[in-house]
């Protein structure tokens, strides 16, 4: 998996590159500090994944994501940000990001997002607050006023519950004793019925509509 890192914090970018190179499945083709240099390099040497910081001098990471996706639609962009809010997440999704991860999360999340090339659903870091996700996905009261959606089948609810627990489609398929192809068919149907654009949005909509029980908030530490 060929990866390009775009981050103007050289020390951080080089440390990330070192971590990624430690995984035999990943090859880091370079570290550049700007969208402009990333576009120039990609014109010479296309790659599978770009890890993009949001805050960059010149063309920012969100617009950079949009430009890279337009010029290289086969390239996935993993967006990293030190400031997690609904506006940034929504903008990253609109720009075509494949993943949105807070910089405060573990580096293993970045590796997993880079390697998750088979699944086209949006990956959002586990440290992203549910409130931010809900706002960014546009889950609003209007959904309660719409025509009641086609109900999910019992099997679709089984799949959705496992996705809500954080399982991947492959893990859910294994847990339910069905093929990955069948599981993905259920997921496609779920997204259509809930008018969701990603698995995560489907889970949030299901929580909003009472189809699933949302997770209990963790008590404050100390």
DSSP letter for each residue of 41-58: HHHHS--SEEEEES--SS
CATH topology for 142-209 is: Arc Repressor Mutant, subunit A (1.10.10)
The tokens for 131 are 């409130």
Question: What pLDDT, on the 0 to 100 scale, is given for residue 44?
Answer: 92
What 140-145 contacts at long range (C-beta under 8 Å, 24+ apart), as own/partner pairs, is 143/205, 143/208, 143/209, 144/209
Judged against a pLDDT cut of 50, whether residue 217 lies above it is answered with no
Question: What average pLDDT does the chain have?
Answer: 81
Contact criterion met (CB below 8 Å) for 71 and 39: yes
Question: What pLDDT, on the 0 to 100 scale, is given for residue 13?
Answer: 86
Mean pLDDT in residue range 10-32: 88
* pLDDT tens column, 119-165: 556 676 555 545 555 555 553 344 444 555 678 999 999 999 998 88
Indicate the CATH number of 2-136 among 3.30.565.10, 3.40.50.2300, 3.60.150.10, 3.10.450.40.
Answer: 3.40.50.2300
Higher pLDDT, 178 or 133: 178
Where in the chain are the domains?
A: 2-136, 142-209
2-136 and 142-209 agree in CATH topology: no
Residue 175's CB: how many other CB atoms inside 10 A?
14
Mean pLDDT in residue range 93-112: 83
């Amino acid at each position: 998996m060929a990866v390009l890192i775009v981050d103007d914090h050289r020390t951080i970018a080089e440390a990330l590159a070192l971590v990624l190179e430690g995984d035999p499945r990943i090859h880091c083709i370079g570290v550049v500090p700007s969208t402009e240099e990333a576009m120039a390099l990609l014109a010479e040497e296309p790659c599978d994944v770009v890890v993009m910081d949001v805050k960059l001098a010149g063309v920012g990471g969100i617009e950079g994501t949009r430009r890279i996706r337009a010029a290289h639609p086969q390239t996935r962009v993993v967006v990293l940000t030190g400031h997690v809010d609904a506006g940034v997440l929504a903008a990253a999704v609109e720009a075509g990001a494949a993943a949105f991860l807070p910089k405060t999360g573990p580096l293993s999340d970045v590796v997993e997002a880079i390697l998750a090339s088979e699944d086209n659903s949006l990956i959002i870091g586990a440290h992203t607050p549910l409130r931010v996700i809900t706002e960014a996905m546009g889950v609003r009261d209007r959904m309660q006023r719409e025509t009641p959606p086609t109900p999910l089948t019992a099997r679709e609810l089984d799949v959705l519950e496992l996705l809500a627990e954080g399982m991947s489609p492959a893990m859910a398929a294994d847990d339910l004793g069905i093929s990955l192809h069948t599981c993905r068919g259920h997921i496609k149907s779920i997204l259509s019925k809930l008018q969701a654009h990603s698995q995560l949005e489907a889970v949030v909509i299901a929580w909003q509509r009472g189809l699933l029980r949302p997770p209990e908030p963790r008590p404050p530490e100390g």
